[in-house]
Amino acid sequence: MVGAGLFCIGLYMIVSKHNAIQILIGIELILNAAILNLVAFGKYDRINNGGQMFALFAIVLAAATTAVALAIILNVYKQYKTIDPGQVDNLKD
């Protein structure tokens, strides 16, 4: 029941991967879909809290990922004056 709702979100976000910071938002949404599954099935683990615990870890991981990715995006913008990944095609100058 819970699952059907969340997969739509994660999957339609793959559609959003065409440009820019939106790719990052798409990744966040996919992560959120996974976390929602963890939480939903974490209901069946009252003693060890496996699902909720790893949902927390996943949220923290997502935060770390976003911080680094945004720093990289800003740097890329400084170098190339664009944030379209299709145009960033060389590694060094």
Partner 1 sequence: MSLVQLLFYIMGFIALASALFVAGTKNVVRSIFMFFITLFALAGLYVLALADFVAITQVVIYVGGILVLILFAFMLSGKETLNIIAQQRKQFISLRRLPAFLLAALFFIVLVNMIAKADVNNLYWIKRAADLKNIIQPDAAMTENIGVNLMTNYLLPFEGISILLMVALIGAAHLSRKGRGQ
Residues lying near partner 1 in the complex (CB under 8 A) are found at 1-9, 11-22, 24-26, 28-29, 32, 35-36, 39-49, 51-53, 55-57, 59-68, 70-75, 77, 81-84
User: Which CB atom, from 84 or from 90, has the smaller least distance to partner 1?
Assistant: 84
Contact of 77 with 15, CB cutoff 8 Å: no
To partner 1, the closest distance from the beta carbon of 34 in angstroms equals 11
To partner 1, the closest distance from the beta carbon of 90 in angstroms equals 18
To partner 1, the closest distance from the beta carbon of 91 in angstroms equals 16
Two structure tokens written together for 19: 């440009």
Distance CA 35, CA 62 (A): 10
DSSP class of residue 46 equals T
Distance CA 15, CA 1 (A): 23
